[in-house]
Structure 1
Amino acid sequence: MTQRIGLFFTVSLLRLLAALPYSVCARVGMSLGALLYRIPSRRRSVVQTNLRLCFPDQSEAHRHALGQAHFSHVIRSYLERGVQWYGCAGKLNDLVELESAIELGNTEAGPTIFLGFHFVAIEAGCMFYSIKHPVASLYSKMSNPLLEQLAKRQRARFGTEMIPRNGSVRQALRTLKSGTPLMLAADMDFGLRDSVFVPFFNVAACTLTSVSRLAALSGARVVPFTTSVLPGYRGYKLKIFDALAGYPCGDEKADALRMNAFLEQQVRAMPEQYYWVHRRFKHRPEGEAPVY
């Protein structure tokens, strides 16, 4: 019952936020995030630990400012789920700028894996793409089944085929071979299974090898993309890069290292927008102490 009441208020709030002007919603989110960063919390501690590990040469004051800016973007992104999940297609379409190095919707290019990363605006970019072209997406299960159903339903509202991350590999392969691109993100610590330790900002990070294995099995090209928050409360920019040449290379560890190196380059361009609230270094190589 408690979960159902919580879901009712969540949906009501998101619908209300969808009705507000985008800039109002974004400004409220930024201010609320800055306020919440002042309150000691487990998530703030995770952010501070991640920034200390990844930017050891920066001053404590600089990392504090970066952490506050990040918290503002994270809370803003939660509020912006309103327009992403309940706003009309036209409103979302107007908020996203597209820059693509490849021709989109070209089924003759063969199977395509769109490799995303957990920047705060990833949801907006994925949903914008689904308005334009057929696509499938891997999703992770949530601890709250009602919230998971809500997220799955709203993310699929423009026709996205939702595939559980721990579901059938065959389903993902069928989707790719049918000509429908598959969107996924592999930059989180999902545990030691099907993962290797490779550097991320010179810190050993437990990194999934699923991207290179799925690409090898399907013959798919791997096309990275990022979605960034534009300044001046103008919306977002979806940037789609060229396919990674020679990927996969036949060495899963080398592929994981290359993926992390590409991600690190993007993070350096907009460090406040990467999801530092996640415990990216949750699992440690044998013999190393926990960091959180």
Structure 2
Amino acid sequence: MDRIGFALMVALLRLFAVLPYGLVARLGSALGAALYRIPSRRKHIVLVNLRLCFPTKTEREYDELARNHFRHVVRSYLERGIQWFGSAQSMKGLVEIDSAIDLHDKNAPPTIFMGFHFVAIEVGCIVYSTSQPAASLYTRMSNVRMCDLAKRQRGRFGAEMIERSTSARKIVATLRSGKPVMLAADMDHGIDNSVFVPFFGVPACTLTSVARLARLGRARVVPFVTEVLPDYRGYKLTVFAPLEDFPSGSDTVDTRRMNAFLETQVLKNPDQYYWVHRRFKHRPAGVAGVY
């Protein structure tokens, strides 16, 4: 992205931050539906993922689910204007919070907030950081300008942004200092520090970082999910009770548990999970690629 294109994109995001949320959401949804009509690599990836994970659905059901997913994904790009440039007050006004733990407990043990790549994941992370100290792991993007912008805006309320590739020692020190760490480990980042465990019955290359960091930092693991509410009512952040007996001592067992928990949440809002990512990019030895 060149300098002019980047400047135009930032200007649009700033504009979306001051427009009514419902208008921005409806515009994104309509744009997503229109883009779905155009053959694209991302559309192909979405349909491959859906066919692998839900093999009993009909072609009509795949098409409907994929179209609704495109609506949510493109809508989330436009709503990033609100998330990255909106005020703390405007953000809080859009998010309902349902938590099984006390989010304001100053005596809480070291905590890993385990998120998942639903379309509204950023909303939950940013809203939490408006009232509580937190650190968040991120993956560096290839576009330097976009990466720097995302890092700056995601952390603008005080969240400490830590690159995923940093040393575990720094993350553990952050946990032991009393600052919770927010991370998501449900994407395919390569076979290093990963295991193949089922995701809807399909072997998925999955990071073991949650279990490893929990063990090293003696931290509890608290799952959270942010969903898009119907009728353009905003979002809901659900914070669950800490996982019991986690970590277990087996990274493979713990990572399988993470995927099993994720499956239960995907089934609640299947069109909101990030199917546009190549979740099965890496395959077990001898197994053919799918994309």
Q: TM bucket by the smaller chain?
A: over 0.9
CA distance in 2, matches of 1:130, 1:193: 30
Matched with 2:16 is: 17
Matched with 2:42 is: 43
- Spell out, residue by residue over 1:56-110, the C-alpha distance to the aligned partner (whole angstroms, 9 max, x if none): 1000100100000000000000000000011111110100000000011323221
Contact 1:3/1:146 (CA < 8 Å) preserved in 2? Answer: no
Matched with 1:234 is: 233
Matched with 2:108 is: 109
Question: How does 1:162-241 map onto structure 2 within 5 Å?
Answer: 162-241=161-240
Question: How does 1:124-163 map onto structure 2 within 5 Å?
Answer: 124-163=123-162
TM-score by length of 1: 0.99
Unaligned runs of 5+ in 1: none
Matched with 1:76 is: 75
- The letter for the 1-side match of 2:264 is Q
- 1:32 partnered with 2:31: yes
Unaligned runs of 5+ in 2: none
Q: Secondary structure at the match of 2:275?
A: coil
Q: Which portions of structure 1, spanning 4 or more consecutive aligned residues, are displaced by more than 6 angstroms?
A: none
CA distance in 2, matches of 1:251, 1:125: 29
CA distance in 1, matches of 2:85, 2:54: 37
TM-score by length of 2: 0.99
% identical equivalent positions: 61
Note the C-alpha offset of 1:6. 2.1
Matched with 2:59 is: 60
CA distance in 2, matches of 1:29, 1:210: 34
- 1:251 partnered with 2:250: yes
Q: Secondary structure at the match of 2:130?
A: helix
- Spell out, residue by residue over 1:89-133, the C-alpha distance to the aligned partner (whole angstroms, 9 max, x if none): 111010000000001132322100000000000011111101121
- The letter for the 2-side match of 1:259 is M
Q: How many residues align?
A: 291
Note the C-alpha offset of 1:3. 2.5
CA distance in 1, matches of 2:118, 2:131: 21
Note the C-alpha offset of 1:245. 0.3
- The letter for the 2-side match of 1:282 is K
Note the C-alpha offset of 1:168. 2.0
Q: Secondary structure at the match of 1:269?
A: coil
Matched with 1:99 is: 98
- The letter for the 1-side match of 2:99 is S
Note the C-alpha offset of 1:10. 1.2
Note the C-alpha offset of 1:7. 1.6
